[in-house]
Structure 1
Amino acid sequence: MTKHLATCDLCDAYKNDSSGDFRVLPPVFRDFGQQRRFQGPVQTVKCFEDNTLVKAAVDSVGYVDTPEGRVGKVLVVDGGGSLRRALLGGNLGAAAARNGWAGVVIDGCVRDVAELAQQPVGIRALASMPLPTEKRGEGQSEVAVQVQGVWVRPGDWLYADEDGMVISVKPL
């Protein structure tokens, strides 16, 4: 497993980066999972009040095997910032943990907060909302997304800890 890199240290090292290769997510996300620190390569989903593709992602293998060992991926969900429906709940949080995901970051809401807190995975979202989504089969996977105005692309690396979340085009 990769050693955790502190987001403050990364920001100190890359604060003058003007290439766009290093980005910081705004401090609007709350922790809902058991893991406060997580990192890994990004997989993306873009959806709005329909979690069909979120379910498909967390039900799939959430890690990659590398010469250095197994590395959990981070699912980044562009939910359009909606506060009207929850894109992840207890069952999907358990699936993410069971399938080896390092984390799930949702620009939207979650539900079943007590259940999510028991899952050994990083889960961040804007808020909790008890109302589930409709299942319409809509959305896109593995596309560039905007999360709170910050571009996140499949294959980027996300680093999260108690201080915040940062994105890099490559592992740091």
Structure 2
Amino acid sequence: MKKLLVAALAAGTTLTLMAPASAQAATTTFGPYGYGKVKLGMSLKQAKATKRIVLKMKGEGGGCSGWDLKAHPTGKDSVGLYISRNVGVAGIFAWKGVKTPEGIGLGSTKAQLKKAYPKLKTAASGFPMVSVPGNPKAYYLFLLNSKGKVREMGLALDTQDCFN
């Protein structure tokens, strides 16, 4: 690397050094409007144009289609995001290592959730949820394990029509 750098500088070439993809991903937060170039409310066409998603499940009968972020594939029976024909990108689900701007991620405790989101409430379905700070059109939802730690986390439009 040193020889390449010296040779490039001697030739008057400017080098742009980039952090590895994993380091770049670590600096991108989950919310308040989406993740990276994939934003809540984008149409299917717009989301596909980002070249960051891959189809996992077709939306049958007018339902939502299931997708994965290419950089963060999910397991066989799950998806990383849903795209609705009505509202576009309706919800995105978190993966290990990603955090909200408030520092919440998989493994965070219920106490950390309450501290980060003082207006945290329990949905009718029993899971904790909160309006996304900085995005009045979206909410975070959390599923906790038996030890009270976040095991699943999502970012969704208030108007999403893909899941309960």
Q: Is TM-score (shorter-chain normalized) higher than 0.5?
A: no
Structure (1 or 2) with the greater strand fraction: 1
TM range (shorter): under 0.3
Q: Normalized against structure 1, the TM-score is what?
A: 0.26
Higher RCO (CA-CA < 8 Å; seq separation 6+): 1
Q: Quick check: which has more Rg, 1 or 2? A: 2
